Structure 1
Amino acid sequence: MEARFVSHVAWRRPAGRALVATVAMLGAACASLPPHPAEPPTVARQGTADTVIGRTLAPRLAQHPGQSVFYPLTAGADAFAMRLALAHTAQRSLDVQYYIFDADNTGLTLLAAILDAADRGVRVRLLLDDLHMAGQDKALAAIDAHPNIEVRLFNPFANRRVRLFEFATDFRRVDRRMHNKSMTADNQLTVVGGRNVGDEYYGARADVDFSDLDLLAAGPVVAQVSAVFDDYWNSEATWPLASLAKPLEGEEARTLQQNARQYLDDAVVRLKATPYARSVLESGVLQAIQQESLPSFWGQATVIADRAAKVQQPPEDDATHAIPKLAKVLDSAQHDLTLVSPYFVPGEAAMEWLTGLQARGVQVRILTNAFGATDVKAVHAGYAPKREALLKAGVVLYELKPSAYAELAKEKKSKGPGGSSRASLHAKTYMVDRHLLFIGSLNLDPRSARLNTEMGIVVDSAALCDMLGKSIDDALLDVAYQVVLETNPDTGREEIAWVTREDGVLRTYRSEPDMSGWNKVEQGFLRLLPVESEL
């Protein structure tokens, strides 16, 4: 982002470059954060029932006292359209919290809509994890300079130029990241789920599309989402950008702000010219709700979230953790439990829990990424050795195929991305007895449980579970491999096999799909590394 906002001055003498690089590396090794600024806490806007969003929702909410309404966003284009609509419609406030906010077509277009909201007088609080913000300080400062926008960074790196040495000198701190994802307008309407901000999350890339799920929600649950945001915004782990990067002033501020606006406007024009955007940019969330063109589901709901202070406590101290609350929900299963997690690495305790559920009569079904679909090969190395034990316990195991979209297109079961997109599972969705549903950012892996912060919503809605469950069941063998234990007719031994439906015909693979000989060597090496707690 920053490269287009500012001009870079090239060093003319190699000796000068070497000296500066050496000084920078030495400075990075001993850099420390400035004192945390003492600022009064700010909280979500109250008294927003008279906004356009509030007035639109009020009649329907009045018919369901105490309940919240949910609109599942399964398609990436719809999820992007809803975020744009929130920014376009907000009148009082926008609270935006993301782990990744890419400076690509969708990210810049959403940022342009957020800037437009600020121009209308909307208070914007933009909270970003700092891990993916390297080199973006001036670009963010141009946004932060708007009188109605404040940018804060979660668990920031002390050195704003060279980060490498901080991983070596302060790894335990910078390894703890904010993985939350939410966007709330006027404290009335919110989007929570698994999607970050970037083209691959919204079906805007031709080469890859992350299969994900968000909830658009209104009603009492919104106040819970806002309370989580306030906890992070006012946390001692969160720093105003202005305390980390020199605030822009005078002519530099005016120039960078003008460059930023032009850069964002150009991105919007580029996106509007694509086939992807023709329907997305014309979408209006309020009109869709008014016309009841979105499938809506009502129910009691609870937000489950880590406290922001989690990153400042030892990983084994679970007093601030979300996972014990989620485990209680999942452990309430009486007859079936469906777990959809892209990064699935169950530790010893989780393996005992899953096999224990099976032993007491709960059928556990798991959908995760196949080797060819995962974007983190080390995670697959941590997961794969667990398969045999899970299958022997009776767990039903599926792995999403990278060709999932192509298979759906052939079967005409989807209007989503074309067959050229590589599918990769990114949704974190857990269903209990077809009436309780968790949708959020929390993976079933050690990193989500112990290191990162996470959040999500638990909804009690049999209708919503039925709709999502049916959509999964109908296409599962087309989009995924069922991993099974069966006797190999050639060897007579019980081995893992992968069963799927291709062109309407069941096919069995006896070696792992999409895994070459070199991949097998690589996976074997990754399993030797003591990194499971980091996955």
Structure 2
Amino acid sequence: MSRWWRALLPALLALSCGACATMSQAQREHATRIAVSARSAELDCAAADHCAQDSPLHALGEKALLASGPDDPRHYALILDRGPQALLARINLLRSAQAKIDLQTYIFDEDDAGRLVLDELLAAARRGVQVRVLVDQLSAMENVDTLAALAGAHANFEIRIYNPVLNRARINYPQYLVAGICCFRRLNQRMHNKLLLVDDEVGITGGRNYQDDYYDWDPEYNFRDRDLLVAGPVAREMGANFEAFWNAFRTKPVEQLGDVGRRLLRTGVPDLPPPQYTQPQRAQAMSRDASDPALIERELVAQAIPVGAVQFIADLPQKHRRDPVRAEAAAQATPGLNHLISSAQQEVLLQTPYLVLSGPAQQMFESLQERPSPPDVIISTNSLASTDSFITYALSHKYKRRYLRDFGFQIYELKPFPETVPVDLAATGAVLPDASLTLAGQQAMPATTRAMPPAGAGNDDNDNSDSRGTPMQREFFAGRYFGNDAHQPVPLKHAGVRIGMHAKSMVIDNRIGVVGTHNFDPRSDHYNTESAVVIEDEAFAQALAASIRNDIAPENSWVIARRPKPPVFSGLEYSLAKISEHLPIFDLWPVSYAVSYDFKPGPQCMLPLPPDDPQFSQCYEPVGAYPEVDIGLKRISTRIFTAFGAGLAPIL
């Protein structure tokens, strides 16, 4: 029996008994009473500030609010490039909360990083802080028992699920297929916002979810990501946006959903099991460091940048309404970001993990290029070797000619083992061989070897116990329709801790900096709700630009440019490739317009050059369309999605 039929048969069975998953109004009320009655109101602290830990980070919010006037807001902005520092900042802020904590996220896993944050949230609730957690359904906590335990954990703790299709907190892969059949539009409408807000004074937003690979804690694959901590009056605007989602029609208390509610009705509220950390010493060290004010001051606060006004542009949940007028009015992120790009005069520096542009975005960039003096457009994104979404990369590969020639993009694709990006390999817990270290500390291995698995991991390709690979635990959305393999990075010629781009940031003319959740793709435009922080300040913009420019340095990224022209019929080949590219679905031309190039420094090549520089060909050598990849059968599937995947663009 094929894999598709093995997935389809359970889906049909689930569809035939779908009524079993629903609860009556009386059952929902009963489940709610069970959860509420189990919630302890006992507090660990009687102090007015709820025993909040002194925090230099939290003090930035108080300082900014005191310095702000009605027409003169003051803020502090801190770029969180490093994963462990981003987690450290979160833990420290949670302990500093005096009144309330609001957390909004797309993914909340039950691995080490997720459980560490969860325990801090519960500890804050037990000392008297009001804690609210809002998670999108598709990537909520993996176990129904965990959600049932949290439903009755404490009177100060509440967890809700956004847009629960099939009236469940969790759906497995067969149920996902069923939801795709019965309610495709709703299934695709997701809350992609990420926000941690403490006392309406300090907020963190950006690309990171609550999962090990966003904090350099995964021994196999980690994201190069970016958050922004902002302290000051704009935190209240963040709070208002969170409130809109918390009270949205599609937001449901977890105890009222079919799977969790029935668990409560059967056996009551279960106990939350103690954490089982895969790296307990690492978790203990993070917990200890989060209580060290000198370390927080040195590692975080000292890098905060004082700025003036800060703009928070965010979609509202009404973006998911069927009424097109209300939906358009609630979609704030895409128009705001497009306006910033259109305002560029000298340069757009854009970082996105998935270079798949919507039709309006393509028109916008084409109009920029048609100006008498168009701005430079520099793109930092994933290579096939680094991405967690080979389907998306395959589709973006279809448009390389258009991006380079029609839009004037300078594209830099992240290497899987970059040398100087801010990723802490020591924090991953990976065990690397000692001999023959190459590629920034990675071990050279035979071409057939994949990146090394976590210690103790099984070898069964069908084992879905690792939540990082399950259909509901990755941000790459469309691939869930194609099974678990769609989430696996392609095999490489070397083994090691692979790094993939996940940061979503932009700098306009070296004076406006943007950090947010928007991937600059059709899904972010039309289906996901998104948010971003915009700061017009030269010091901040230059710091953010320096971070992105480091990512595109030759030791970290390949540059994409037109491949060397063939000696004969180059014009004919170009014309045929262009015709094939413009076909609405098919792109069958087998020859790539562009390939990756690697910088080769020398006496005549002291500094990196842009692809349009006359000396480019002397200082760069082509390394193929898919460098570092042990492509194998992935070449076939990549070509298939390049040829036939155009219709998937809106949901990628």
TM-score band, normalised by shorter chain? 0.7 to 0.9
Q: Is 1:432 matched up with 2:508?
A: yes
Aligned to 1:362: 375
Q: Is 1:186 matched up with 2:303?
A: no
- SS of the residue corresponding to residue 444 of structure 1 reads coil
1:114-513 correspondence to structure 2 within 5 Å: 114-133=121-140, 136-145=143-152, 146-160=154-168, 163-164=175-176, 165-244=178-257, 245-246=260-261, 252-253=267-268, 256-257=270-271, 260=272, 262-264=273-275, 266-267=276-277, 271-274=279-282, 278=285, 281-284=288-291, 292-313=301-322, 317-321=327-331, 322-360=333-371, 361-393=374-406, 394-404=408-418, 407-408=419-420, 416-417=424-425, 419=442, 420-474=496-550, 476-488=553-565, 493=570, 495-501=593-599, 506-513=620-627
Shift of 1:103: 0.6
Shift of 1:197: 0.6
- Asked whether the 8 Å contact 1:209–1:423 carries over to 2, the reply is yes
Query: C-alpha distance in 2, partners of 1:512/1:451?
Result: 30
- Asked whether the 8 Å contact 1:107–1:199 carries over to 2, the reply is yes
Query: C-alpha distance in 2, partners of 1:508/1:138?
Result: 52
- Asked whether the 8 Å contact 2:83–2:214 carries over to 1, the reply is yes
* Paired AA for residue 649 in structure 2: E
- SS of the residue corresponding to residue 535 of structure 2 reads strand
Amino-acid identity (%): 28
Give the root-mean-square deviation of aligned CA atoms.
3.4
Change (3 A) 1:458 1:286: farther
Query: C-alpha distance in 2, partners of 1:286/1:92?
Result: 20
Pick which of 487-496 and 139-148 moved more. Answer: 487-496
Shift of 1:318: 2.4
Q: Which digits, 9 at most, give the CA deviation of each residue in 1:204-257, with x for residues without a partner?
A: 012111011001111011011111100100100111112213287799556x22
1:17-36 correspondence to structure 2 within 5 Å: 24-28=14-18
- Asked whether the 8 Å contact 1:190–1:222 carries over to 2, the reply is yes
Query: C-alpha distance in 2, partners of 1:21/1:336?
Result: 49
Shift of 1:489: 6.5
- Asked whether the 8 Å contact 1:346–1:445 carries over to 2, the reply is yes
Change (3 A) 1:469 1:186: same
Normalising by structure 2, report the TM-score: 0.69
Pick which of 140-149 and 495-504 moved more. Answer: 495-504
* Paired AA for residue 497 in structure 1: V
Q: Tell me, which stretches of 5 or more residues in structure 1 are unaligned?
A: 1-19, 40-46
Shift of 1:202: 0.2
- Asked whether the 8 Å contact 1:302–1:457 carries over to 2, the reply is yes
Q: Is 1:107 matched up with 2:118?
A: no
Query: C-alpha distance in 2, partners of 1:300/1:503?
Result: 42
Change (3 A) 1:523 1:463: same
Query: C-alpha distance in 2, partners of 1:82/1:24?
Result: 43
Q: Which digits, 9 at most, give the CA deviation of each residue in 1:18-59, with x for residues without a partner?
A: xx99875422278668779999xxxxxxx99x9756666434
- Asked whether the 8 Å contact 1:68–1:301 carries over to 2, the reply is yes
Normalising by structure 1, report the TM-score: 0.84
Change (3 A) 1:515 1:272: closer
1:4-83 correspondence to structure 2 within 5 Å: 24-28=14-18, 57-59=61-63, 61-63=65-67, 65=69, 66-83=73-90
Q: Tell me, which stretches of 5 or more residues in structure 2 are unaligned?
A: 1-9, 33-47, 427-441, 443-495, 575-592, 603-618
Shift of 1:314: 6.3
- Asked whether the 8 Å contact 1:368–1:400 carries over to 2, the reply is yes
- Asked whether the 8 Å contact 1:371–1:515 carries over to 2, the reply is no
Shift of 1:350: 1.8
- Asked whether the 8 Å contact 1:231–1:307 carries over to 2, the reply is yes
Q: Which has the higher strand share?
A: 1
